[in-house]
């Protein structure tokens, strides 16, 4: 089933806070939901589909649906880490295309900064029954050193340099100038990135993801509803998802791009001639943006270092 043209993003909201010691996670979810609905010109009463991930408190979407007093025909909770909300937007579009709902709300929120979580440098607790736990927990893998291993492998395979990865952070700092709520609003240089403290070689502090409170939400609607709103709209033209795992130890650390369905690539790239801006990818650590470029088939792995240098602002 294609979702091309079957759903539109009608509302978007990013929570302005980056530190929320006085708010609960449920409150942050509700506030971003109301913000996105207001942006779309809709209300809670219009929502009949709700999508969330593991950050939403309670069992699946049930607790948040009750907290926000939503009357739903369809609900879903999918946990795929940081990719969850991109996948949820696609699932919302699929649900709309299948007639399961007309107005879908997607929310995310968290308080890792207020709760003092060292999400990048502290080993994460693993459930005792997680099958790979016995092979990973003893080595205390963290998010930062996991990304560092991928970056190191890419450097070995393709000659990528720390300076080239630093350009991703430089570009991000320029983008931050357009966001009044940016946590790190200062423009940085390549030299400042590579001279920042080393966290997990070859990643410096400014290569790493910030730890921030906040959240965001999307409102996705049927085309008939979108046309009545008379607001700026984003037509969803395609999406795909796939899961890559350790493959019994045979996976490639230098490439995190799992196979994406050919029809998805065709639907997305059929629109490329109409896109006037250059391709942008956003992710947590600087080498992850390189992998996003590869995943999107914007460049072959051997050319990825050039893609990162191309992030340099004009």
Where in the chain is CATH 3.40.47.10? 8-115+212-235, 143-209+249-309
Instruction: Tell how strand 8-14 and strand 214-221 pair up.
Output: antiparallel
C-beta of residue 30 within 8 angstroms of C-beta of residue 70? no
Q: What parts of the chain have a pLDDT lower than 70?
A: 252-283, 289-314
Architecture of the domain whose range is 143-209+249-309? 3-Layer(aba) Sandwich (3.40)
This prediction has a pTM of 0.85
Query: How confident is the model at residue 261, as a pLDDT?
Result: 55
DSSP, res 298: S
225 in Cβ contact with 19 (< 8 Å): no
Predicted pLDDT of residue 303: 44
Report the alpha-carbon angle 237-239-241, nearest 5: 175
The backbone torsions φ and ψ at residue 235, rounded to the nearest 5 degrees and listed phi first, read -80, 130
Pair 312, 171: CB distance under 8 Å: yes
Res 120: pLDDT: 79
pLDDT at 281: 44
Span 8-115+212-235 CATH architecture:
3-Layer(aba) Sandwich (3.40)
pLDDT for 267? 55
Place of tokens 């109301």: 34
Biggest alpha carbon distance in the chain?
57
d(CA 96, CA 104): 8
């Amino acid at each position: 089933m294609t979702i091309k043209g079957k759903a539109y993003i009608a509302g978007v909201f990013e929570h302005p806070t980056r530190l929320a010691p006085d708010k609960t996670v449920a409150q942050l979810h509700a506030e971003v939901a109301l913000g996105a609905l207001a942006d779309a010109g809709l209300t809670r009463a219009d929502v009949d589909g709700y999508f969330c991930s593991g950050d939403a408190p309670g069992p699946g979407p049930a607790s948040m649906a009750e907290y926000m007093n939503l009357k739903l025909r369809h609900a879903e909770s999918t946990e795929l880490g940081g990719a969850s909300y991109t996948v949820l937007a696609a699932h919302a579009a699929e649900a709309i295309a299948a007639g399961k709902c007309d107005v879908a709300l997607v929310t995310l929120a968290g308080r890792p900064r207020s709760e003092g979580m060292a999400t990048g440098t502290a080993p994460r607790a693993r459930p005792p029954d997680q099958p790979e736990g016995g092979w990973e927990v003893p080595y205390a893998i963290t998010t930062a050193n996991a990304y560092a291993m991928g970056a190191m492998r890419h450097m070995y395979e393709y000659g990528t340099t720390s300076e080239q990865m630093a350009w991703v952070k430089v570009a991000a700092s320029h983008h931050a100038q357009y966001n009044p709520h940016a946590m790190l609003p200062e423009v940085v240089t390549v030299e400042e990135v590579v001279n920042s403290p080393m966290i997990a070689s070859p990643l410096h502090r400014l290569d790493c993801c910030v730890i921030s409170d906040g959240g965001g939400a999307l409102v996705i609607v049927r085309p008939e509803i979108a046309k009545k709103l008379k607001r700026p709209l984003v037509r969803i033209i395609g999406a795909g998802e796939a899961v890559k795992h350790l493959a019994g130890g045979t996976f490639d650390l230098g490439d995190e791009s799992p196979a994406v369905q050919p029809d998805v690539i065709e639907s997305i790239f059929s629109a490329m001639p109409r896109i006037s801006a250059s391709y942008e990818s956003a992710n947590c650590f600087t080498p992850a943006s390189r992998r996003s470029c590869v995943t999107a088939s914007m460049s072959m792995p051997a050319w990825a270092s050039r893609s990162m240098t191309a992030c340099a602002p004009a």
